[in-house]
Amino acid sequence: MSERASEPVSQRAGEGAGPADRAKVAVIGLGIMGGPMAANLVAAGYDVIGFNRSRPAVDRLVELGGRAAESAAEAVRDADVVITMVPDSPDVEALALGEDGIYANAEPGQLHIDCSTIRPDVARRIAAAGAERGIRVVDAPVSGGESGAVEGTLSIMVGGEPADVEAARPYLDVVGATVVHVGPPGAGQTVKAANQLIVAGNIQLVAEALVFLEAHGVDTEPAMAVLAGGLAGSTVLNSKAAGMRSREFTPGFRVDLHHKDMGIVTAAAREAGVVIPLGAHVAQLVGALRAQGHGGLDHSALLLLVEQLSGRAGTGD
């Protein structure tokens, strides 16, 4: 647990002028998660320079006191630490190892913290490629969703060499409340794959419970309140049930991204020679939702599929 875990981010941001040496932090990928993470680093007093594939996200960072880079290469030069928060394994691989990418422009000793959710084997490969060039690489995927990113309360599972993880910790403590070193390079991604397995299964069961309760004519608001207080309670139920009840599926976490993550966990399970029967089933349901054109919705839209399979599409609130 981070030693600053209990302090709200606003309180931390107000602590004097920020880091004494005003370390320079490059953040590449300023989307739903990377945008607010960069904003919290600015609020904590870091000199944050941002790069994103599309410009409006960079402009938002500049409005908050950050600086704009025109390319990943420009962001990386002179940075003490580079944080990447982009969608998928090929995105991180291209950014890290590309011709004019991070490692081509970084100096030995620079620290790369990849917060994206990617394949553990790709994380290990990138860490090894960084090490060859003297660049310290840490995989630090996050959980906690958009609200966790905004509030600076993410749960962060960190893989890497102990000294590199300690070097990354001050930055991770700004964006997260629970920062745990879980093992060598790639281990953070393995834990994140398990996280995505649990979250997908949990959402699916909350969706099934809601459709079940509605079919019985039960008022789902008090039903969810009492379920939340017992063994059925979960962070998924607390943060997703209200949106599911009102069919509000603005992401949040896109179905497309969870589909990617179910691919990661099913492949990693196969690689380890273990089976995840329920997880594999939910992976198919996430794939079906995506195939129906719902890839841009929040993953809580799994409820739509349960309704459809039950012959109840469009019967909700």
CA dihedral 96, 156, 232, 197 (to 10 degrees): 20
Residues 17-46 that bind ligand NAD (CB under 6 A): 28-34
CB of 16 to ligand NAD, least distance (A): 30
Applying CB under 6 A, among 19, 87, 170, 233 the residue interacting with ligand NAD is 87
- Site map 234..273 versus ligand NAD, x via CB under 6 A: ------------------xx---x----------------
Applying CB under 6 A, among 41, 43, 82, 95 the residue interacting with ligand NAD is 95
Nearer to ligand NAD, 203 or 211 (CB): 203
Closest-CA residue to 66 (of 30, 108, 102)? 30
Q: Indicate which residue of 24, 192, 240, 260 is catalytic.
A: 192
Task: Round the CA-based radius of gyration of the chain to a whole number and report it.
Answer: 20
Work out whether 142 is an interface residue with ligand NAD (CB under 6 A): yes
Applying CB under 6 A, among 86, 150, 200, 306 the residue interacting with ligand NAD is 86
Nearer to ligand NAD, 213 or 267 (CB): 267
**Can you read off the two tokens belonging to residue 313?**
């599409």
Applying CB under 6 A, among 25, 58, 85, 127 the residue interacting with ligand NAD is 85
Nearer to ligand NAD, 85 or 167 (CB): 85
Measured N-to-C along each axis, helices 220-228 and 235-245 cross at an angle, to the nearest 10 degrees, of 170
Those residues whose C-beta lies under 8 Å from the C-beta of residue 190, and which sit 6 or more positions away, are 120, 159, 182, 183, 268
CB of 175 to ligand NAD, least distance (A): 11
> Which residue of this chain has its Cβ atom nearest to ligand NAD in the complex?
31
Closest-CA residue to 2 (of 192, 235, 187, 172)? 172
Closest-CA residue to 48 (of 70, 16, 80, 17)? 80
Q: Is 260 a catalytic residue?
A: no
Work out whether 151 is an interface residue with ligand NAD (CB under 6 A): no
- Site map 105..134 versus ligand NAD, x via CB under 6 A: -----------xx-----------------
| Cα–chain center distance at 145 | 6
Alpha-carbon span 251 to 164, nearest angstrom:
33
CB of 191 to ligand NAD, least distance (A): 13
Residues 47-76 that bind ligand NAD (CB under 6 A): 51-54, 57, 72
Residues 273-292 that bind ligand NAD (CB under 6 A): none
Work out whether 193 is an interface residue with ligand NAD (CB under 6 A): no
Nearer to ligand NAD, 31 or 186 (CB): 31
**Can you read off the two tokens belonging to residue 147?**
């609200």
Residues in contact with ligand NAD, counted by CB under 6 A, come to a total of 27
Active-site residues, by number, are 192
Summarize as ranges the residues that interact with ligand NAD (CB under 6 A). 28-34, 51-54, 57, 72, 85-87, 91, 95, 116-117, 142-143, 145-146, 252-253, 257
